[in-house]
Chains A and B, each alone.
Chain A
Amino acid sequence: MFDAVLLFKDALYGALVIAVACSVLGVYVVLRRIVFVGAALAELSSAGIALALWLGGRHLLPEAASHPIAFALLLTLAGAMFFGIGAGRGRIPPDATIGVTYAVAAAAGILLISKAAVGEAHDIFLQGNILGITNVDTLVLLGVAIPVLLLHVIFYKEFLFVSFDRETARTLGYNVRFWNLLLYFTLGLVIAFAMQFAGVMLVFNFLVLPAVTGLLLARSMAGTFVWAVIAGIIAAVVGFTVSVPFDLPSGPAIIAVSGVLALLAFGVRVLQRR
């Protein structure tokens, strides 16, 4: 069983990088009640990949197909900035704006890929292809995740303050818009790269479920981050280890483990309250 897993060890390392980065950012995503921003950004990223493949496949921009990450980044970061500046403050409620973005980006991605001459099956956007992660891909993921996580460690109190109580932060001279944009920017960056391999469903899972598990188990912010990362790592390792020898799709297997962990955490919480 473990021999089969070792064959895909690079893919496992890549999945772990995605799990850790998304689990950390996911704590803010869940606490700020922006889980569907995560989903909408993931869809924008997949639409970017589809756009690149469509442009390349139709020979409108032949180089595009070999650099889909550039298009994914462009759309995801544009979306992150859009949500970060407070989209939907006018007559349209913010959650409706997120819903519109999610629906349109998802549909655009599927439409574009269906007409791309060199397109892959559009399932890849939903499920990803985590087994296809190579050693080089893992290094690229690390190149994105390490600076993002360092930024979040260094400026932890700034991100925390503007997330917890933006009005008071503003009165103490914090540039709330800047810190919000930076938070969304890092979120967009991680999602755009993670989406290449993990797909919408798995990225969304890593942004939400480990953080929920962390919040159920911890009694402090530091504890929440630690438990979220542990839950993300366990889900990635166990889900991956089970999926390879049993020929199960890795993404859904990891999500299933995440779900079990969240349920166990809920059980622990209930027992603690008694």
Chain B
Amino acid sequence: MAPFITPLVTFDHATLAYGHRVILSDLSFSIPEGDFLGIVGPNGAGKTTILRAILRTLRPTVGTVNHAQNIRFGYVPQRDQVDYNFPLKVRDVVMMGRYDHVGLGRRPSMRDREMADAALEHVGIVHLADQLLTSLSGGQRQRALIARALVGEPTLLILDEPTNGMDLVSTTQILGLVRELHERDGITVLMVSHALNEVANYVERIALVVNGGFRIGTVDEIMTPPVLSEMYGIPVDVDEINGHRIVVARRNGALFPQESALHV
């Protein structure tokens, strides 16, 4: 694990709520520089709520969420948040990641264009720069969106459900690419996903969000039967196949009341 230096985001006894509806309370954790953190949990558990607090679009009702002064987000949204009807070339989409550098009412420069091509090269699809985004496959689109996030030179790369709806090959390639960006370039990465089995084999730390509960730790600390069984509310086993950890719910294991929460 890379040595942690400066926290980019710090939650200090933060309660996150929409109006009077509290989603998560008393959250205390930080995302240090160099981290590779996965926020994992079933749909509706509060992952997006934490993400919104990190992205500063939701303020805590109690406690604080502090950001480092130099923080710059490189955000990769869920693929269905992007409208593929727009007739935009891949390079034009990637250049959007530099729009805040370019300035209000100004056009991207040749340097912005070169940086967009470099980012596309980085994710292995520079040959698709002049293609329409809509003509790309799911995996290629995700690479284009990652390139857009990288071109803004972020201090924190955030990916929201990056492998949703992808096949096994694309999922492996995208997660491998993100891992490579972290290891090779030292990029701090936050990945949000509902798929524990996918994320656990790539990230260095896991924040588990289940049924209003929150637990954060290294992969070794979280990926244990006692922790997962307690969080998900049913007995689970953690097996290892060729160095990959797999979480499996025990058969006839509905001994706890919240078994429906398990989405691994």
Contact = CB atoms under 8 A, between A and B. Distances in A.
Contacts of B237: none
Contacts of B87: 215, 218-221, 223-224
A170 B85 contact: no
Contacts of B204: none
A170 B100 contact: no
Contacts, number: 72
Interface string B106-135: 011000000000000000000000001000
B20 to A, nearest CB: 16
Chain A interface SS verdict (over half): helix
Size category of the binding interface on chain A: 20 to 34
Contact of B92 (A158, A167, A170, A221): A221
Nearest to B133: A164
Given A165-B77, A170-B55, A172-B152, A155 B83 contact: no
Contacts of A174: 99-100
B247 to A, nearest CB: 30
B102 A157 contact: yes
Contact of A168 (B96, B102, B107): B96
A8 interface: no
A266 to B, nearest CB: 15
A165 B83 contact: yes
Interface string B131-155: 0100000000000000010001000
Nearest to B135: A219
Contacts of A164: 82-83, 86, 88, 93, 96
A242 B80 CA distance: 45
Given A167-B81, A215-B87, A219-B87, A157 B100 contact: no
B89 interface: yes
Size category of the binding interface on chain B: 20 to 34
A169 B98 CA distance: 11
B50 to A, nearest CB: 15
Nearest to B103: A157
A173 B75 CA distance: 12
A171 interface: yes
Interface string A247-267: 000000000000000000000
A222 to B, nearest CB: 9
B29 interface: no
Interface in B28-56: 55
A212 to B, nearest CB: 11
A158 B104 contact: yes
Contacts of B105: 154-155, 158
Given A31-B83, A155-B104, A172 B89 contact: no
A163 to B, nearest CB: 8
A47 B88 CA distance: 38
B81 A161 contact: no
A157 B83 contact: no
B82 A165 contact: yes
B47 to A, nearest CB: 15
Interface string A166-182: 01111111100000000
B242 interface: no
A155 B77 CA distance: 23
B89 to A, nearest CB: 6
Contacts of B70: none
Contact of B85 (A31, A155, A171): A31
Contacts of A167: 75, 77, 81
Contacts of A215: 85, 87
Contacts of B81: 165, 167-168
The 8 A-B residue pairs with the shortest CB-CB distance in the complex, in nearest-first order: A171-B75, A172-B100, A171-B73, A154-B105, A167-B77, A165-B82, A164-B86, A168-B75
Given A221-B87, A223-B87, A224-B87, 6 more contacts: A31-B83, A160-B86, A164-B83, A168-B77, A171-B55, A172-B97
